[in-house]
Amino acid sequence: MPCELLKGFRMLDLADEKGAMCGKMFADMGAEVIKVEPPGGCMTRRIPPFLGDRSGSDRSLYFLAYQAGKRSVTLNLETADGRRLLSELARKADFLVESFPVGHMESLGLGYQALAGVNPRLIYASITPFGDRGPGRNYKAADINVWAAGGNMYLMGEQGRPPLQISAPQAGLHAGAEAGAAAMIAHYARQGSGQGQHIVIDMQACVVWTLMNAQAFPIMHGASMTRNGVFSGALRLARKMVFRCADGHISMLLTGGTAAPSISALVQWMDEKGFAADWMKKQKWSAWAPGVISDASDYEVEQIHDIEDRVERFFITMTKREIYAGGLKRRILLSPVNTVAEIAADDQLRAREFFVPVAHDIDGPVTFTFPGAFAKLSATALAAPTPAPKLGEHNEQIYGGLLGLAAHELAMLRAVDAI
Amino acid sequence: MAPFALDGIRVLDFTWIAVGPITTKYLADNGADVIKIESSTHIDVLRAAPPYADGKFGINRSQFFADYNTSKRGVTLNLSHPRARELVMRLVPWADIVVENFTPKVMRGWEMDYEHLRQVKPDIIMLSSCLQGQTGPQAAMPGFGQLMGALSGFYYVSGYPGGDPAPPYGAYTDFITPRLAVAVLVAALDYRRRTGQGQYIDVSQFEASLHFLAPALIDYFATGRVLQAQGNRSERYAPHGAYRCRDEHGSERWISIAIGDEAQWQGLLGVLGNPRCEERFATMLGRLENPDALDDFVGAQVRERGAWELTAALQAVGVAAYPVQSCLDLHQDENLDAFGFWNWLEHQEMGSAPYMGVAHRLDATPGQLRSAAPALGQHTDEVLQEMMGLSAEEIAQLRKDGVLM
């Protein structure tokens, strides 16, 4: 079912992995998203891993996931004919998103100013690794470089070992989602004023926004957080955030204060099994928040080490599933460190019918299971995902139907490598 | 001055902590009038979370709170008091949007859920964002983003191969959801303008976040493969990782490097002075298949280089590289600075401090951090007078009755 939210609005998606998420969100919200690919295909078709580890232009899992619901046309921007076609498409589009090196689209005569001349209503979003004004505006970047530049990498990993990225690169997804949010804000203004505009997304800044305010500690407290494995990077006081259990790990923050009911319930549970120390049973947890308001005392540090140690010995007797079920029942603030397999089997996601089947045709018919709507709307349900397009699948439909090119013109454009 | 994109939009904001406040901050920084409702008996807990101005605790001194609540007005209402609900219901017709991120029973308990709100404002748009969504067996699960980072798979896929998780710092998923929530919320606002139709939006932070692991989920369902933590290993780039450079100011300094093709590899070798390297590193496949040895090789070559000097040299030959920036480094980063990312704002109790700016720039209608975050209850009187026409005496009485705390 298409979504009514952005029905009738059209986006040209020229973004690579720095912005694929933007068009995906727009497709989910009902916009017609046209992926404009070079004749060799968008580079996201070549991002590993591939389905069954066999490569092929329709087999990249990244491509399948983030180009779902879009249409595909091929267009060679290296040719004058290709550039003319893009300009014609822009005349009929409401949004354009691109992530070429800064200045590249201008050099082709397809920058914001040029396309706004054709279509002043156009909202044109440019995703840049490090902004468009600094000394690094022309820097090359893989996802890991922006993760590093935005400060998140510095905070991930163990002391004495290299800083880390998440093993599913994230910076481009944040930038794409930010572009989606920004383009919608510009859309609201445009629907009032009639005027489109240029948007620049700073991917590095998008990553800084993931730091949970760690960025302010050097200014406020005169010290930086550091990476610390399963411990928080907290100043003065390392707190264990991830505990071992029988078949994996559990995430939990042992603190009182507003979380007092949770830690009380945990201690009660531990006591039933003989794992609670006497001091834990007597502790007034609502008043226990070491290091939050003032520095932790030596005694509090001792308490922290003792309870962390006992919690781990308690958890090691149970599986993730048992601990999560017990935690939910007792309203303890904890959660399992889930694998994708465990997420796939999660009761809550199943009850909400989050995962949805999507019929594909890849070397024959095959049905995949996709994450469904990122939000549930009462009046305009988001669109169910449809398959990512084959390369140039919609050339006839878009160039013929939308731009009104005749069959012989399409054939000629093909012959001169324009599409 | 350029107009703001969301001039004239009115938001009643019951949110707290991160996901909700960051969502409404996008609206506020773009010109919407966002009224944040808090209670001194039940404050936004970020007010009691460091970092604090000058490192000193105070209810109006948390930069954590301040960064997520710029450009908003702050009102204190004791929502468990029956008169407070009455005041809220008088404000609802004023609002275009209501946002909250409590556990699902809270707004229902106050009879301020969507069904009640739309009785007084039929076209209201309401967005709720709790951890696991408004329905389902675990809807009531309380918690915060750290738990969601684990539940939604990000912790498991973070770390060195075969080791304990080395999760992203803090409540990682709290910084995914707002971007999706803002997009759908503003889309709903535009839809209402075209159709007159308001609606209710249920954003499960669990579900929203899983979109950032979508390829791994699709892969699991299709082939049974379970994505594992693999350090900085990549199937596309080698070398790919963080390499220690020369220490600076007594601190470790690292550089991130990603090499995706032959030209970049030759560029790297050139910048490193064309050191002798093993035969197996001569091909991309050889490099991809021997990542540990390759890391040792690159690590040894860059150990005495300066992280910025090396970045400049590598970028000059088209190699993707950037220093691994610490939180302090971010404040001195010339690229963030050139984008105008750091915004110095003056706060009535905290003084002047650098706030995180907007991560995008709308050239015609730029957003702006219009004011520092409100002190607790800073705008209570102003809002009650201006928007409800209450007199100073009536406000004093409400205060005496414990409604405005």
Tell me, yes or no, whether B52 lies in a domain: yes
| Residue-wise pLDDT tens digits, A235-291 | 567 889 999 999 999 999 898 888 899 999 999 999 999 999 999 999 999 999 887
Give, as one character, the DSSP assignment of residue B39: B
Residue B167 sits in the same domain as residue B80: yes
Identity at A75, one-letter amino acid code:
L
B230 touches chain A (CB under 8 A): yes
Domain boundary among B312, B330, B348: B330
The closest alpha carbon to B154, from B131, B170, B173, belongs to B173
Residue B308 sits in the same domain as residue B384: no
CB < 8 Å to A331, chain B: 142
Measured CA to CA, the distance from residue A134 to residue A131 in angstroms comes to 7
Best mutation target, B322, B334, B358, to test chain A (most A CBs within 10 A): B322
Q: Where are the alpha helices (DSSP H) in B142-257?
A: 145-151, 177-195, 205-210, 214-223
Helix B177-195 and helix A171-193, axial crossing angle in degrees, nearest 10: 20
Number of A/B CB contacts below 8 angstroms equals 531
Q: What is the DSSP string of A284-346?
A: -GGG--TTTSSPPPHHHHHHHHHHHHHHHHHHTTS-HHHHHHHHHHHT-SEEE---HHHHHT-
| Residue-wise pLDDT tens digits, A134-163 | 999 999 999 999 999 999 999 999 999 999
ipTM: 0.98
| Contact between residue A27 and residue A188 where contact means Cβ atoms under 8 Å apart | no
Residue B306 sits in the same domain as residue B354: no
CB < 8 Å to B238, chain A: none
Measured CA to CA, the distance from residue A42 to residue A393 in angstroms comes to 13
Measured CA to CA, the distance from residue B267 to residue B8 in angstroms comes to 53
Q: In B, residues 189-208, which contact A (CB 8 Å cutoff)?
A: 189-191, 193-194, 197-204, 206-208
Interchain proximity A378–B217, CB inside 8 Å: no
Residue A414 backbone class (left: φ over 0; alpha: ψ -120 to 50; beta: rest): alpha
Tell me, yes or no, whether B104 lies in a domain: yes
Give, as one character, the DSSP assignment of residue A42: -
pLDDT, averaged per 10 consecutive residues of chain B (405 residues), comes to: 90 96 98 94 88 92 97 95 93 97 92 96 97 94 87 98 94 96 98 97 98 98 97 97 96 97 97 95 96 97 98 98 97 98 96 97 97 96 93 95 90
The closest alpha carbon to A48, from A148, A128, A145, A167, belongs to A167
Tell me, yes or no, whether B218 lies in a domain: no
Q: Using CA coordinates, name the residue in chain B closest to A354.
A: B207
| Residue-wise pLDDT tens digits, A170-179 | 999 999 999 9
Q: In B, residues 334-363, which contact A (CB 8 Å cutoff)?
A: 334-339, 341, 353-354, 356-363
Best mutation target, A154, A195, A206, A255, to test chain B (most B CBs within 10 A): A154
Q: What helix, strand, coil percent values describe chain B, rounded to 5?
A: 40, 15, 45
Interchain proximity B18–A212, CB inside 8 Å: yes
Tell me, yes or no, whether B227 lies in a domain: no
pLDDT at B1: 59
| Residue A1: pLDDT over 90 | no
| Contact between residue A44 and residue A66 where contact means Cβ atoms under 8 Å apart | yes
Residue B132 sits in the same domain as residue B151: yes
B236 touches chain A (CB under 8 A): yes
| Residue A388: pLDDT over 70 | yes
pLDDT at A258: 83
- Phi then psi dihedrals of residue B125, to 5 deg: -110, 125
Element (H, E) at A222: none
Interchain proximity A170–B335, CB inside 8 Å: no
Angle at CA of residue B264, ends B260 and B269, nearest 5°: 125
CB < 8 Å to B241, chain A: 144, 162
Of A137, A181, A378, the CB nearest to B26: A181
What does pTM read for this prediction? 0.97
Domain with CATH 3.30.1540 in chain A: 230-337
CA distances from B37 to A182, A388, A394, B184 (A): 25, 43, 49, 23
Residue B319 sits in the same domain as residue B342: no
Q: Using CA coordinates, name the residue in chain B closest to A7.
A: B191
Q: Which residues of B are catalytic?
A: 174
Domain A230-337 fold is formyl-coa transferase, domain 3 (3.30.1540)
Measured CA to CA, the distance from residue A241 to residue A232 in angstroms comes to 6
Distance of CA A414 to the CA centre of its chain: 36
What are the residues whose beta carbons fall under 8 Å from the beta carbon of A185, sequence distance 6 or more? Answer: B5, B6, B26, B30, B182, B186, B362, B367
CA distances from B400 to B88, B391, B396 (A): 18, 14, 6
CB < 8 Å to B237, chain A: 142, 144
Q: Match domain A10-210+389-415 to its CATH number in 3.40.50.300, 3.40.50.10540, 3.20.20.70, 3.30.70.20.
A: 3.40.50.10540
Report the CATH number at residue B60.
Answer: 3.40.50.10540
At B46 the three-state DSSP class reads: helix
pLDDT at A236: 65
| Contact between residue A236 and residue A227 where contact means Cβ atoms under 8 Å apart | no
Q: How many domains in chain B?
A: 2
| Contact between residue A201 and residue A182 where contact means Cβ atoms under 8 Å apart | yes
Identity at B193, one-letter amino acid code:
R
Residue B271 sits in the same domain as residue B154: no
CB < 8 Å to B11, chain A: none
Tell me, yes or no, whether B234 lies in a domain: no
Cis peptide leading into A49, omega within 30 of 0?
Answer: yes
Best mutation target, A340, A346, A353, to test chain B (most B CBs within 10 A): A340
pLDDT at A235: 59
Interchain proximity B199–A378, CB inside 8 Å: yes
> Is the CA virtual torsion A307, A311, A313, A314 positive or negative?
positive
Report the CATH number at residue B246.
Answer: 3.30.1540.10
CB < 8 Å to B236, chain A: 47-48
pLDDT at B99: 98
Q: Using CA coordinates, name the residue in chain A closest to B114.
A: A378
Tell me, yes or no, whether B222 lies in a domain: no
Of B137, B202, B319, the CB nearest to A375: B202
3-state SS string for B315-383: HHCCCEEEECCCHHHHHCCHHHHHCCCEEEEEECCCEEEEEECCCEEECCCCCCCCCCCCCCCCCHHHH
CB < 8 Å to B154, chain A: 166
Q: Using CA coordinates, name the residue in chain A closest to B5.
A: A189
B153 touches chain A (CB under 8 A): yes
Tell me, yes or no, whether B230 lies in a domain: no
The closest alpha carbon to B63, from A209, A258, A219, belongs to A219
Residue B200 backbone class (left: φ over 0; alpha: ψ -120 to 50; beta: rest): beta
Distance (Å) from the alpha carbon of B397 to chain A's nearest alpha carbon: 30
Measured CA to CA, the distance from residue A265 to residue A252 in angstroms comes to 13
Domain with CATH 3.40.50.10540 in chain A: 10-210+389-415
Structure tokens at A196: 């489109």
Which stretch of A32-36, A208-212, B52-56, B296-300 has the lowest confidence by average pLDDT? B52-56
| Residue A292: pLDDT over 80 | no
Interchain proximity B186–A181, CB inside 8 Å: yes
B222 touches chain A (CB under 8 A): yes
Element (H, E) at A377: strand A376-377
Structure tokens at B295: 């890391």
Domain boundary among B330, B356, B384: B330
Q: In B, residues 34-73, which contact A (CB 8 Å cutoff)?
A: 45, 48-55, 57, 63-64, 67-68
- Phi then psi dihedrals of residue B352, to 5 deg: -95, 135
Identity at B143, one-letter amino acid code:
G
Q: Using CA coordinates, name the residue in chain A closest to B358.
A: A205
Question: The domain containing residue B258 runs over which residues?
Answer: 240-330
The closest alpha carbon to A125, from A190, A42, A211, belongs to A190
At A248 the three-state DSSP class reads: strand
Interchain proximity B212–A173, CB inside 8 Å: yes
